[in-house]
Structure 1
């Protein structure tokens, strides 16, 4: 059973004529006849009385309401797909790491709203691994995450680089390490650390670096918001290794200071990830473009100076 067979069936039921149905469907009458013959073979019953005026048999009357529903569902589906491909979607969902949520997404959202006021924006702050999972599960349209080629290399994901982030040390202004211009890794190992929870790319980078330096990472507590990091660090001996984009709020705060590590200095790459099919949707494609533009513009702004 094919859709065009049901459409031919409905056209005959409406016009009471094979010739009228052919004109309505813009095909020749022999095509209509073949479609109905095939449909009758599929259902195992005649659908029309053909002696004189064309009318529905009992089997045809039974099929009629269902055929109408099927064809209506198909018209609705094709219209919705057409609307989607032409940019008429109801919402756009983004999962992003916290530093991007705070400093890049607001401006991108503002510009996007001006161009697509009818699209509801939804944003969720998640660690990189979790953000990529919800993207793969079709729960969001875009993930803005720390690059992890093990998780983003496969099709149909499309990865767009946004910026490189240097990782610095956030500490209290009166912390013992604040007297150093560059902090050695063995010195960092002597102090408790506030770190991101599992599932965050930053946690993985830091753990790998301490392991490579043959040092033990002293994890005092796990956090997942930048406000929490600042609040904990300013009160004592705890330090935190954070990306530069997460330290914008530190500038001008006399209770906090930022220092750099000795070599090797850590960096991370932040990327925008979506799928090939989503990039064909105008609002999704446009939001990715706007985010890139916002990042380029904000890279010109001053960051807190790490000694």
Structure 2
């Protein structure tokens, strides 16, 4: 059964004969006849009494209200999809990590809102792994997060690397580690850590890094807001490994200090990669495509990976 067959059936019931139905559908009368015959063959019943005036059979009467409903639904979804690809998307849902929501997204959101006033923006701050999961499940349109190849290498995903930034150590201004110019894993392993909760890419990165060094990490506390990190850290010996962009406010706080991480043997630093991710089908929808281009442009012009000054 094809939608054209149902449309032909409705056209005949509305006009009363095959010839007028053909004109209404802008096809030949023989085409209308074939479409109705095909529909009758599929259903196994006659739908019209073949006479001068096309009159519905009992089966045709039963089909009529359902055919109208099906064609109405088809017209609605056809229009909705046309509007979608024409850029008439009612909303755009963004999941992003906290530092991106705080410092990098606001100017993009303002520009996007001016260019697409009919699209309602919905922005949610989530941990990287959680954000990528809800993107995969279709609950958001895009994610701006710390890269996790377990999700982003999926062939259904489109991923842009936005920037790479160093991971640094947040500590109290009077912490013993402030005496070091660079901090290696042996110094970091000596103190208890505050880490992001499960579902945040930073927890995964920190745990993986300590595991690679064969050093146990002393996880004393799990938090999920930068304000909470700063409040706890300034109280004593706890430290936290956080990305550069999460330490903007800490840099101006005299009760806090920021230290650089460096492997004393290899001179390597610990970094994280921030990416824009969406699905391939969403990437072609005009508002999402425009939003992606805005994010790409800002990532090129914004010096987001310039190291902060340290103690």
Shorter-chain TM-score: what band?
Answer: over 0.9
Q: Single out whichever of 207-216 and 239-248 deviates more from structure 2.
A: 207-216
What number of residue pairs does the alignment pair up? 307
Query: Mapping of 1:217-296 within 5 angstroms?
Result: 217-263=217-263, 264-296=268-300
Instruction: Show the 5 A alignment for 1:63-102.
Output: 63-102=63-102
RMSD: 1.5
Cα displacement (A) at 1:302: 6.3
Question: For 2:75 and 2:253, how far apart are their aligned partners in 1?
Answer: 59
Residue 205 of structure 1 deviates from its aligned partner by 1.6
Query: How do 1:135-284 residues align onto structure 2 when only pairs under 5 Å count?
Result: 135-263=135-263, 264-284=268-288
More deviation in 256-265 or 137-146? 256-265
1:240-288 CA-to-partner distances (Å, cap 9, x unmatched) read 1001011111222111111102223101110000011111111111111
Tell me the SS of whatever aligns to 2:140: coil
TM-score by length of 1: 0.96
Instruction: Give SS of 1:190's match.
Output: coil
Partner of 1:38: 38
Contact preservation (8 Å) 1:107, 1:294:
no
Distance in 2 between residues matched to 1:68 and 1:201, nearest whole Å: 51
Unaligned runs of 5+ in 1: none
Consecutive unaligned residues of structure 2, counting only runs of 5 or more, are: none
What's the CA shift string for 1:167-189, capped at 9, x where partnerless? 00011111111122112321211
| Aligned counterparts of 1:302 and 1:185: Cα–Cα separation in 2 | 23
Question: 1:222, CA displacement in angstroms?
Answer: 0.5
Q: 4+ residue stretches of structure 1 with deviation over 3 A?
A: 300-303
> What's the offset of the Cα at 1:71?
0.5
User: Greater CA deviation, 213-222 or 294-303?
Assistant: 294-303
State whether residues 245 and 304 of structure 2, in contact with CA within 8 Å, keep that contact through their aligned partners in structure 1. no
